[in-house]
Structure 1
Amino acid sequence: MFPSSLRRPLTVLSTLAFTFTLTSLSFAAVELKQEAEQVRVEIDGHLFTEYHFAGARRPYLYPIIGPTGGTMTRHWPLEDDLPNEAHDHPHHKGLWYGHRNVNGVEFWGDVLQPNETGGQMIHDGFLEIQGGEQQGSLRAKNKWVVDNTGEVICTDERTLRFTKDPGGPMIDFEITIKAGPKDVVFEDDKDGCMSIRVPETMRVELPRPKGAKVTPHGEGHIVTSEGKQDLAAWGTRANWCDYYGPVDGQTAGVAMFDHPGNPRHPTWWHVRTYGLFSANPFGQSMFEKLPDKHAGDFTIPAGQSSTFRYRFYFHPGDTEKAKVAEHYAAYVSSVK
């Protein structure tokens, strides 16, 4: 028997332990918290990413914290006090969806040319925000609006699912685009659609120094399901593509999966050695160097819709160690 002087402290400790156990059992491993301009996503109490739905020309996710603890996207232009980051393409914000030419309207870039008409994807409300033991999700509505006229070309309903997985966290991005009273044409262009800008340390090629004739190589690599690597991966078609390299001193990567139910699967990959990583089913003439500059045009008839599904798998290690091919097979079997 314990001395009477120790019985009360032990009882208190036992009560605390029991309370902690109950709390642990009811704790949602993936939590989503809506704030004024973003939804914060936490896994096991730590920031995973934020969905920014206000203050930009299109919604985006930033930052995204990978399985090794490092940030899996470039910081600029959302943060500009970090050294050794290229200040190119200011529209490359974290992870986003967009396209350069939709009915002649620019839904990709932020800086317009004199002859371009710009458009914005304006947040139109949330349909669902919820957490869970292994997965949390949000559903949001958006209007694709022409800047100078206010015309709504189309709308979208997007579902983002955030999954805690032993191999590394995952984001499923499903977007259904619905045409209004007119046909919606995604015109053939290389700049689109499902995209992420990886961190500078993962680049395959580094910025070329002024006056240099040779582009220096980085430590990053690109690999597709068809075996294309690095520069040779651009403009080719594949079920999936993986981009990996050093992140804060450790090897990490992000693989993007194109669901077989997507229109024009397998998609073309607009994946650049400087860090842009996009799945684009609407750039056929540019990727394949075809004389017909409208070969890749894609039309959603008035009043109808098209759905596209992708998964981002953030993993430690390279493509082989992360078993990207096996994860793609699991994705195909789980998302019907």
Structure 2
Amino acid sequence: MIRLFSILLLVGFSSVCVAQSYEIVQEDDGLTVHFDGKLLTRYLTKSGSKPILYPLLGPGGLPMTRQYPMEAAGEHERDDHPHHRSVWFTHGKVNGTDFWLEKDGVGGLIIHEKFEKVTDGDTAQIVSLNRWETPEGKVLCHDRRSITFGHDEGRQYFDYDVTVIAGEEPVTFGDTKEGAFGIRVPGTMKVDAKKGGTLVNDQDEKNKDAWGKKSAWVDYYGPVKDKTVGITIMNHPSSYGYPTHWHVRTYGLFAANPFGIHDFVGKDVKSGDHTIEPGKTMNLRYRVLLHEGTTEDADIAAAFARYEKVKK
């Protein structure tokens, strides 16, 4: 492995300082992020049909996402939904192409083009550029995703900000529940494991009652090994569709989706389709907070109140 900041100097990126807290290392398949010498996550440029974060480690170095399909299924994990890859961003209907499912010759591909910026130190940031291709090789759009790592009252978080950029033709993110910013939690944490796993939104709607609802945040907590830990996705007020609808399932899927209106609300409402005109953009902005204990223990409402004040 080669220290990334050395590589950046060679290829013309801005110089960076020796890491004080975060260190990012270049590897053949992407980037590895360490915090105080310990693995936090890896940015994989290609896993299945898209870039992902895996693994993602939380308090005490515990895994915060399921192992499958990147590795063999872990405790209480099922080898289902191979497109649910740890932490990802895709959508099930983009100009009619399905980027959510992974089907050879049928689904679209999100292809990593380059890292535009990588910095480490007291905070860390990864900025990547990706193109969205149909099975026939037609480029529908690009996205620029910025992942910024930091701390909130001693707890790790990362801001996952995506700008979708239309090309010479309009691009439409269609009305379907299969999207968009997703996480699949560990098997022991999921509600269906019946080990104490719980998902809850900002209206205190829990488990199945939270599916499809609008909320500024959703928290999913439960046991991993011998500790109760949680993972929260927060939606920034400047994000398209705020407050977003949520495609959250008791079997462990956890996704923010502002587009799937007909699935979430019903057919008698306006379509959730959103079209980006040529050369224009759409911004989706989320914070993922890793915490110990329950939603109440972690005071997620207060954590969101701090996040919503961040200027984007």
Q: Calculate the TM-score normalised by the size of structure 1.
A: 0.85
CA 1:81–1:295: 2 relative to 1, 3 Å: closer
Please state how far the C-alpha of 1:118 moved relative to its aligned partner: 1.7
Alignment partner, residue 311 of structure 2: 335
How big is each residue's C-alpha offset from its partner over 1:83-115, in whole Å with a ceiling of 9 and x where there is no partner? 432111001111000101100101111136xxx
1:281 partnered with 2:258: yes
Mapped contact 2:18–2:121 kept (Cα < 8 A): no
1:132 partnered with 2:108: no
Mapped contact 2:48–2:83 kept (Cα < 8 A): no
Please state how far the C-alpha of 1:164 moved relative to its aligned partner: 3.7
* Partners of 1:117 and 1:299 in 2: CA distance: 22
Match of 1:53 among 45, 48, 54: 45
The code of the aligned residue for 1:128 comes to K
Please state how far the C-alpha of 1:165 moved relative to its aligned partner: 4.1
Please state how far the C-alpha of 1:317 moved relative to its aligned partner: 0.6
Unmatched 5+ stretches in structure 2: 1-16
Match of 1:301 among 255, 274, 277: 277
Alignment partner, residue 80 of structure 2: 88
* Partners of 1:279 and 1:151 in 2: CA distance: 27
Alignment partner, residue 265 of structure 1: 242
* Partners of 2:200 and 2:75 in 1: CA distance: 28
CA 1:26–1:182: 2 relative to 1, 3 Å: closer
Alignment partner, residue 319 of structure 1: 295
CA 1:27–1:55: 2 relative to 1, 3 Å: closer
* Partners of 1:117 and 1:296 in 2: CA distance: 23
1:67 partnered with 2:59: yes
The code of the aligned residue for 2:94 comes to V
Unmatched 5+ stretches in structure 1: 1-24, 207-216
The size of the alignment, in residue pairs, is 296
* Higher Rg: 1
* Partners of 2:24 and 2:310 in 1: CA distance: 23
SS of equivalent to 1:80: coil
Alignment partner, residue 203 of structure 2: 226
Match of 2:163 among 170, 176, 189: 176
Please state how far the C-alpha of 1:81 moved relative to its aligned partner: 5.8
SS of equivalent to 1:231: helix
Mapped contact 1:104–1:117 kept (Cα < 8 A): no
1:43 partnered with 2:31: no
1:239 partnered with 2:231: no
CA 1:46–1:164: 2 relative to 1, 3 Å: farther
* Partners of 2:236 and 2:74 in 1: CA distance: 35
SS of equivalent to 1:321: helix
Match of 2:112 among 112, 123, 126: 123
SS of equivalent to 2:60: coil
* Partners of 1:315 and 1:111 in 2: CA distance: 35
* Partners of 1:45 and 1:111 in 2: CA distance: 38
Alignment partner, residue 30 of structure 1: 22
Q: Calculate the TM-score normalised by the size of structure 2.
A: 0.91
1:108 partnered with 2:96: no
The code of the aligned residue for 1:98 comes to T
Give structure 1 regions of 4+ aligned residues with deviation exceeding 3 angstroms: 81-84, 164-167
Mapped contact 1:37–1:54 kept (Cα < 8 A): yes
* Partners of 2:299 and 2:29 in 1: CA distance: 36
Instruction: Give percent identity, aligned residues only.
Output: 39
